Amino acid sequence: MLNVAVLGSGRGSNFQAILNAIDAGTLQGVRIALVLSNNSGAGILNIARSRGLPAVHMSEKQFHNEPSFVDAFLATLHRHGADFVALAGYMKRVPPRVIATFRNRIVNIHPALLPKFGGKGMYGIHVHEAVLAAGEKVSGATVHIVDEEYDRGPIVLQRQVAVRPDDTPETLAARVLQVEHQIYPEALGLLADGRMISPYTQQPNIEQEST
Q: Where on the chain is the footprint of ligand GRF (CB under 6 A)?
A: 8, 10-14, 88-89, 109-111, 177, 180
CB of 180 to ligand GRF, least distance (A): 5
CB of 86 to ligand GRF, least distance (A): 10
Active site includes 110? yes
Q: Which residue is nearest to ligand GRF (CB)?
A: 89
Q: Which is nearer to ligand GRF, 72 or 116 (CB)?
A: 116
Rounded-to-integer distance, Cα 96 and Cα 63, Å = 17
Handedness of CA 195, 200, 201, 206 (dihedral sign): positive
* Helices within 25-64 (DSSP H only): 43-50
Q: Which is nearer to ligand GRF, 105 or 110 (CB)?
A: 110
Task: Give me the DSSP letters along 57-110.
Answer: E--GGGSSSHHHHHHHHHHHHHHTT--EEEESS--SPPPHHHHHHTTT-EEEEE
Task: Give me the DSSP letters along 184-200.
Answer: HHHHHHHHHHT-STTTT
CB of 172 to ligand GRF, least distance (A): 11
Q: Which is nearer to ligand GRF, 51 or 63 (CB)?
A: 51
Catalytic residue among 57, 64, 110, 144: 110
Of 39, 78, 43, nearest to 59 (Cα)? Answer: 39
Neighbouring residues of 207: CB distance < 8 A, sequence distance ≥ 6: none
Q: Which is nearer to ligand GRF, 72 or 159 (CB)?
A: 159
CB of 124 to ligand GRF, least distance (A): 7
Catalytic residues: 110
